[in-house]
Amino acid sequence: MWLWDSNIVRAFWEKKHPTLHLHLDRVSRGEIALPSIVVAEILGGRCDFARKASPEEAPLAHRQLFETQKFLAKFEVVIFDERCAEVFKQLKQQHKTHKRHADMMIAAMAKAGNHIVVTRNLKDFKLFLPSQQLENWIDDWPA
């Protein structure tokens, strides 16, 4: 399974990166999933905006929340489960000073399920995953 980081989700939604679409030509849509932490990150921002919006901003904020929810529903979601939690615990022990909590959770999900993380920020994951479990579908041309 190919797990998309939030930067790949945004690039796909905005349709700004032709390289991403070249990669999509080689992968079945059924092999792409979103980690539950990525869904939480994306919806969290929209929920905050909808909750805190002024009366003038509220209609837009709630439309964006609804559109985001509809968009995300098109993807399979890989849930952070107990197995992921065990791997996450190990990663936290190995990398005590690392502050990128969400990235470490995504890496734990990839390790636990033997998935490949697709991200534009490879450096954020190199400490946690071997290179064969990382791909950049924005800047790297498909093989």
More confident of the two residues 103 and 16: 103
Distances in Å between the Cα of 110 and the Cα atoms of 24, 29, 33 are 19, 18, 11
Determine the Cα–Cα distance for residues 72 and 32; give it in Å rounded to an integer: 12
CATH architecture of 2-135: 3-Layer(aba) Sandwich (3.40)
Residue 135 three-state SS? strand
pTM of the complete model: 0.91
Beta strand residue intervals within 1-143, DSSP E = 2-4, 32-35, 76-78, 116-118, 134-135
60-111 confidence digits (pLDDT tens): 999 999 999 999 999 999 999 999 999 999 999 998 877 789 999 999 999 9
